[in-house]
Amino acid sequence: MEVRPLPDYLQKVVENELNEVPSRVSDDIRAIKEWLAKQPHLNACTDDQWILMFLRGCKFRLQTVKEKMEEFYLLRTIMSDYFDDRDPLLPEIQELLSRQIILPLPVNKNGPQVFILRTDEGDINTLPLKAILKGGIMMLDMVMKENDHMVLGQYIIFDLEQLQYAYISQLTPLMIRMLVRGLQNAYPTRPKGFFVLNAPPVLKTVFDLTYPLLNKKMANRIHFYTKDNMEELTKLIPYEILPKEYGGGGDSIETIRVEWKQKMEDYREWFVNSSKYRVDESKKIKNCHLENAAETEGSFRKLEID
């Protein structure tokens, strides 16, 4: 078994909160590998560390791991536009990485990993919403692979102060369904909070469409903030990792952007190779929540924007 050892404080978390039993980990990984070997429709990653990530994300419930893996690889197949050509050197991904939009913050040793997703006033024609989502998924995959502190959960901050309405017109029900189902049913993550800053009124329609898709636990973890109550958010995020632009003592947004651009490029070979992991479409997958996702296609182009 080839997996990274955890520092003591994280080992306590995975044992106390995620049901990890050190003496059984190798057997659990082996059980999932044996199951994958009997699933001809799944072209899955069988790396020990990757499987362990799923086990921890599913609290070592083997049946849940199997169901989540089915969803994970089917998602990559159905939404192939987001998982093909995962080269960080592609012009659209380079454009994303050149702008201060997706920012994983430094490791938070005392709590969830923090991500900041921002909007800017850049050219929407050179960076469509689909490219932002594709690059964001790539970033998430990379952080899951390398950051053991993800076992503590995740905080996602959405700063929409500079949101361009043209992006809302590109948002489709299929995108919403993909993101919600992927987060709830496919990815072995532990979202602890979604913090929406400076949301314009028009987004109420989007959230009204999203809430019915969320399970109760996920819905209760969405919180809205304005400039008037922003200090409440800073109580949750350690001062030392929060960027200077948000009142913290951490690095500047630009410093964080440059660091993660280089990391993404360093992972180029891994990203390109990962495109092969998906479902053989000639095999029928039963009882999977994403099978009919494409039927919900549409857009919000007809929204009345005041």
More confident position, 165 or 64: 64
Q: How far apart are CA 211 and CA 195, in angstroms?
A: 15
pLDDT of residue 303: 43
Q: How far apart are CA 80 and CA 278, in angstroms?
A: 9
- With H, G, I as helix, E, B as strand and everything else as coil, classify residue 52: helix
Using alpha carbons, select from 34, 65, 70, 43 the residue that is nearest to residue 285.
Answer: 70
Q: Tell me the average pLDDT of the chain.
A: 89
CA geometry: angle at 75 spanning 72 and 78, to 5°?
155
Of 249-263, 266-280, 288-302, which gets the smallest average pLDDT? 288-302
The confidence band for 186, taking pLDDT boundaries of 50, 70 and 90, is very high
Q: What is the DSSP string of 137-174?
A: HHHHHHHHHH-GGGGG-EEEEEE-TT--HHHHHH--HH
The confidence band for 302, taking pLDDT boundaries of 50, 70 and 90, is very low
Measure the N-to-C terminal CA separation of the chain; round to a whole number of Å.
Answer: 58
Is residue 205 predicted with pLDDT exceeding 90? no
Out of 3.40.525.10, 1.10.10.10, 3.40.630.10, 3.40.309.10, which CATH number does the structure's domain 91-271 have? Answer: 3.40.525.10
Record the tokens describing residue 254, joined without a space. 């630009």
Of 19-28, 49-58, 69-78, 283-292, which gets the smallest average pLDDT? 283-292
Is residue 304 predicted with pLDDT exceeding 50? no
pLDDT tens digit sequence for 38-58: 999 999 999 999 999 999 999
Of 110-114, 146-150, 182-186, 244-248, which gets the smallest average pLDDT? 244-248
pLDDT of residue 305: 37
Q: Is the dihedral of CA 257, 258, 263, 268 positive or negative?
A: positive
The confidence band for 284, taking pLDDT boundaries of 50, 70 and 90, is low
pLDDT of residue 291: 53
The confidence band for 66, taking pLDDT boundaries of 50, 70 and 90, is very high
Is residue 261 predicted with pLDDT exceeding 50? yes
66 touches 35 (CB < 8 A): yes
Strand-pairing partners, residue 222, are 194
The confidence band for 290, taking pLDDT boundaries of 50, 70 and 90, is low
Question: Domain map of the chain by residue range?
Answer: 8-82+275-283, 91-271
Is residue 266 predicted with pLDDT exceeding 50? yes
* 297 CB-near residues (< 8 Å, 6+ apart): 172, 173, 174
Record the tokens describing residue 292, joined without a space. 């009919």
Record the tokens describing residue 251, joined without a space. 């690095």
